[in-house]
A and B are shown apart, each in its own frame.
Chain A
């Protein structure tokens, strides 16, 4: 979440577009990683 705050401040300050998009991609990868870390159980969808 700190990364997202940093990206928001960089966007506000008009930082290099490549840096912003690269950090944003890191943010997406971090979210996928956190999702994989927290989701460990198999969904039991047998009704």
Chain B
């Protein structure tokens, strides 16, 4: 009932009134940038994992989990906008999901930063551009928090506006959505290889449990 009341606030339930021009386009593609950026971060982590042979610890994996959780909020809004079903209330729900996701991820990052904050501690894994991956993760979570804050400030003017179905931009949007789904699926496979038949990741992984278990090592 309460949600209906929010959905029917004059000026916010009418798609034409809320999806105004440039701001709607900017926020629509801003959400894609959010999803695509986290795909890039996780693909970079895959490179470090597979090409450089560094195994992700459980906290690293939980940070990826936070990135995906927050991206699902963005994906939720993107798909609602593409179907023409997005209202102010649904946009707020998606942004809320994104914000809680980054808060969860940032909590894990902070925990890992504090684990290695003492002078003389070299940290976990090799730094990238002088900063460890968990610190980079925290920076990305903070950027998304700022993005969500700005998006909320723009409401209801900045309700995302999707390009017409069948247009080139619509296809770009579809491609980004499928890249995200592919990256999540790849992460599922990576976790299965890391965990093997165990229910959770080992605390300090040094090999792929599934391969070890199947080959008897």
Contact = CB atoms under 8 A, between A and B. Distances in A.
Interface residues of A, number: 27
A14 B194 CA distance: 32
Contacts of A20: 76
Nearest to B58: A38
A39 B62 CA distance: 11
B100 interface: yes
> 9 tightest A-B contacts by CB?
A38-B58, A5-B184, A4-B68, A1-B188, A8-B181, A11-B75, A11-B79, A1-B191, A31-B65
B111 interface: yes
B42 to A, nearest CB: 11
B46 to A, nearest CB: 14
Interface in A1-22: 1-2, 4-5, 7-9, 11-12, 14, 17, 20-21
B135 interface: no
28 contacts: A1-B65, A1-B184, A1-B187, A2-B188, A4-B184, A5-B181, A5-B188, A7-B72, A8-B75, A8-B180, A11-B75, A12-B79, A14-B79, A17-B90, A21-B93, A24-B97, A27-B72, A28-B69, A28-B104, A31-B62, A31-B69, A34-B200, A35-B104, A35-B111, A38-B59, A38-B62, A39-B111, A44-B118
